[in-house]
Chains A and B, each alone.
Chain A
Amino acid sequence: MTASAASIEMDPTQPIICDQIKTRKRYLLAPGTQVREEDFGLLFYSMSGPRLFFLPSGPWLSPKFFEGQAFLEQWLDQQDHPEALAAIHRTQLAAALIQLQSKGVIREC
């Protein structure tokens, strides 16, 4: 059985709707979903389909984020990384997570 696949876009040229930019959100994986780290970011597998989702989040998210312990902005601030993630990229990341939520891959908690 083969999965279908989709990439979650994080294109800085795309307009972002205002209500998508909230970073005070915590997420859990939806039932039947798994996630793992890849060089480009995160790869999600949903048993529904099955479907694959490629999230090009680089080093900024890890599967642990989806344990629902931290808001996105808290998580990003806590990362041991030489450069802080620019506001525009935080917004893109928040929007990408909303895309994943709309596809039933993750859910807000």
Chain B
Amino acid sequence: MSVEMARRGLRAPVNVTWEVTLKCNLHCQHCLSDAGAADVNELTHQECCRLVDRFSELKVFQVNIGGGEPFLREGFVDLLEYAHRKGLVTCVSTNGTRVDDLLAARLGRMKQLYLQVSLDGATAEVNDAIRGQGTYRKIMEALGSLNRHEVPFSVNMVLTRLNFHQLDSMLLLARNYRADLRVSRFRPSGRGKHSKACLGPDKEQLEALAIWLEENDLVRTGDSFFCLTSEHRRRKGLDMCGAAKMTCCISPNGDVFPCAFLQEPTFLAGNIRDTDFDTLWRMTPIFQQLRELNITACQTCARFESCRGGCPAVAYHTYHDISQPDPECLINLRTARSQPSEPLFHSISPQDPLFPIEGNLHV
């Protein structure tokens, strides 16, 4: 029922993903934003504060802030405090390299803050191969500072074929720092377009991940792996793509997109410098299109209620068509493996011989 209410579109987003800068001191191989140098046209601090005011007026509940590295943006911590004073909850994704005791002490006083620290391996060898030489040590130092100042945080890893075998070690590492582990999905956007062939998890790994998640109930995935979610884990998320229905993304220069992984000209709703955010949210044709999107090929699938066709961004980056099924859903993974000459996407019904898949997942 909640899914149906959300599908019709809400008056404002529940949360907004906001990339506050493209500036980054790392060059991670899978970066969805292809971050590096700051965009010369980034919103000014005053414009950012006005946007926060607008979020507050529209009763957006939460702002998920990323980049680039947000803590490299001048005045960013002031902006965070301003957002909290306006009643917004924030969730900041950081690479951790700027987090020291001074910053951790300040973050520890923020009660409306969730913090996510990116780490892509339980050892320097694996993490640094993805995030850059020496980053593992810096991230460990950041986690230590956050612990000393009792800042709650989660460790966020993007699942790749390099770190898949370290899932258990990552969970242990996070627990040692009194943190949750969050596993995010590798998406072929930004630098991920070019690194997918060498970093993207293979089909067997994704299937094994579904089982691992089943066995590790406290690991968070958000909605990014809902196409792999078992019935048992459904309560953890909405089990549908929230783009344009519950959430949207704002780029450093104020461009508005349905989600962070669809920052392509085709999906540009407009810019907040030209059009009020509320108008962009409610009136933009591309947002309406996503709200009405039906992955028809999936509608007879027994798992449709659990996934609703999966992630349109992955479909877009794979087929240039958001109406195609997610190629990495459990059913399509099984189909591709058992029938490699068949199309990657496939509908399935309870009568289909492939259906007992869920039995293997102890659902």
Contact = CB atoms under 8 A, between A and B. Distances in A.
Contact of A2 (B61, B87, B238): B238
B51 interface: no
Question: Counting chain A CB atoms within 10 Å of each CB, which of B61, B62, B238 scores highest?
Answer: B61
Given A1-B64, A40-B5, A34 B14 contact: no
A45 B2 contact: no
Contacts of B10: 38, 43
Given A1-B91, A47-B89, A54-B1, A39 B11 contact: yes
Contacts of B28: none
A5 B11 contact: no
B64 A34 contact: no
A45 B14 contact: yes
Interface of A is mostly: strand
A56 B222 contact: no
A50 B62 contact: yes
A43 B12 CA distance: 11
Contacts of A47: 89, 112
A33 to B, nearest CB: 10
Interface string B263-293: 0000000000000000000000000000000
B177 interface: no
Contacts of A40: 5, 8
A106 B83 CA distance: 24
Given A1-B116, A2-B222, A2-B242, A7 B235 contact: no
Interface in B201-241: 222-224, 235-238
Interface centre among B2, B154, B223, B242 (most CB of A within 10 A): B2
A39 B5 CA distance: 9
A73 interface: no
Contacts of A16: none
A1 B5 contact: no
Interface string B235-265: 1111000100000000000000000000000
A45 to B, nearest CB: 4
Interface in A1-31: 1-7, 9
B126 interface: no
Contacts of B14: 3, 43, 45, 52
Contact of B238 (A5, A38, A45, A56): A5
Contacts of A56: 1, 5
A36 interface: yes
A50 B113 CA distance: 12
A1 B113 CA distance: 11
B135 interface: no
Contacts of B91: 1
Contacts of B224: 2
Given A34-B87, A36-B12, A4 B5 contact: no
Interface of A: 1-7, 9, 34, 36-40, 43, 45, 47, 50, 52, 54, 56
9 contacts: A1-B91, A1-B116, A3-B15, A37-B11, A43-B14, A45-B62, A45-B89, A54-B1, A56-B1
Interface of B: 1-3, 5-6, 8, 10-12, 14-15, 59, 61-62, 64, 87, 89, 91, 112, 114, 116, 154, 182, 222-224, 235-238, 242
Ranked nearest first, the 3 interchain pairs of A and B with the lowest CB-CB distance are: A2-B222, A7-B2, A36-B59
